[in-house]
Amino acid sequence: MTRILGTLLIGFLAILVLALVSSTFLITPDLLRHDVIAKYRNSASFIYELPSGAQAHIRDEGNKQAPPLLLIHGSNASLHTWEPWVRELGAHYRIISFDLPGHGLTGATPEDDYSVEAMSRFTREIADLFALERVFVAGNSMGGAVALQFALDNPKRVAALVPVSSSGMTRDPDETSVGAFNLVGSSLGRMMMRYVTPKFVLASTLRGVVADPDNFVTDEMVERYWETLRMTGSRDATIKRFASYQTRASLEPHLGKIKVPTLLLWGQQDQLIKVKYGIRMNAAISRSHLIIYPQAGHLAHEELPVKTARDTHKFLQDFSGK
């Protein structure tokens, strides 16, 4: 019996040591804010302290004499997602993109509030910074919900909306998600993410949300998502944001209040926010039009930048200068 207990104890200790070694190997440490900013800012970037105390990463590009277009990125992304649109639309608009609280080079904020309502207030701070009285607003995924909330909160400041695969609708309760979005749906998954954030999980998630991952997802893109997420404070902010999703109210009952012209862009192959939600959103907003792209997934603005930018410009031309 003693020999058996000894063997079991040795086996248990071996498993414990293996687990500790494995967890140490998998742990992905935080990255210093200064280092991440230095790597991912460019000549158009600046960091500005807003009245709320947030250190916002902002880019002000394009034609400064043209109508302003605010671009709002999606969950776990950054303003880098809009770089193709900046190239395509820069001659026609003053394009202001920025990293939302808990994201990109903005990172965690003093308010520590990562709700859609807080991000709408953050967007208003950006508009106030540039003294923009009336703007066009486009947003992808979570950024689409922020754009919708901003229009609800500031109806007189929005000339037109362009949500791209927007969140904000009431989702089916039994619907599964993609990649890392499945992991952060549980408290255990969120707890693990704080210390273990493997690069391959980010790569798998990106590949799972687009229509043609082999020709879209690059090593550089995966590394940017991985490193900005690990900037000091950002994983804690992300965990808090995902934890609040279970109690977040849907925008769907309020979309009828949106009276500004709205162009909805959706990828037919979007597996994260399926096109059925775009159809429902189109029905809920009175002055909306929906374009569905058969060859795109969740990031139509990046996957098909020329076509989506052209459709957006054609739509916004009707309201420029008004």
How confident is the model over 59-109, as pLDDT tens digits? 999 999 999 999 999 999 999 999 999 999 999 999 999 999 999 999 999
Q: Give the model's pLDDT for residue 9.
A: 40
Task: Provide the token pair at 308.
Answer: 């989506």
18: pLDDT strictly greater than 60: no
Q: What's the number of domains the chain is made of? A: 2
In a domain, 322, yes or no: no
Residues 310 and 192 in one domain: yes
Report in angstroms the alpha-carbon separations of 301 from 163, 244, 250. Answer: 10, 27, 24
Residues 161 and 290 in one domain: yes
- Tell me: the pLDDT tens digits for 243-254? 887 677 899 999
- Tell me: the pLDDT tens digits for 1-14? 444 434 444 444 33
Where in the sequence is the domain holding 10, given as residue range(s)? 1-30
In a domain, 83, yes or no: yes
Which pLDDT band, with edges at 50, 70 and 90, does 171 fall under?
A: confident
pTM for this model (two decimals): 0.89
In a domain, 166, yes or no: yes
Residues 13 and 80 in one domain: no
Average pLDDT over residues 166-190: 70
133: pLDDT strictly greater than 60: yes
Residues 25 and 37 in one domain: no
- Tell me: the pLDDT tens digits for 147-158? 999 999 999 999
Residue 188 CA, chain-centre distance (Å), reads 22
Contact partners, residue 318, CB within 8 Å, separation at least 6: 261
- C-alpha span between 94 and 133 (Å, rounded): 14
Average pLDDT, the chain: 89
Report in angstroms the alpha-carbon separations of 159 from 28, 275, 294. Answer: 43, 25, 28
Residues 103 and 67 in one domain: yes
Residues 154 and 12 in one domain: no
Q: Give the model's pLDDT for residue 62.
A: 98
Residues 292 and 220 in one domain: yes
- Tell me: the pLDDT tens digits for 260-318? 999 999 999 999 999 999 999 999 999 999 999 999 999 999 999 999 999 999 999 98
Residues 99 and 208 in one domain: yes
CATH, residue 47: 3.40.50.1820
Residues 11 and 40 in one domain: no
Residue 261 CA, chain-centre distance (Å), reads 23
Do the Cβ atoms of 57 and 98 come closer than 8 Å? yes
In a domain, 182, yes or no: yes
Task: Provide the token pair at 35.
Answer: 């280092």
Do the Cβ atoms of 288 and 175 come closer than 8 Å? no
Residues 15 and 149 in one domain: no
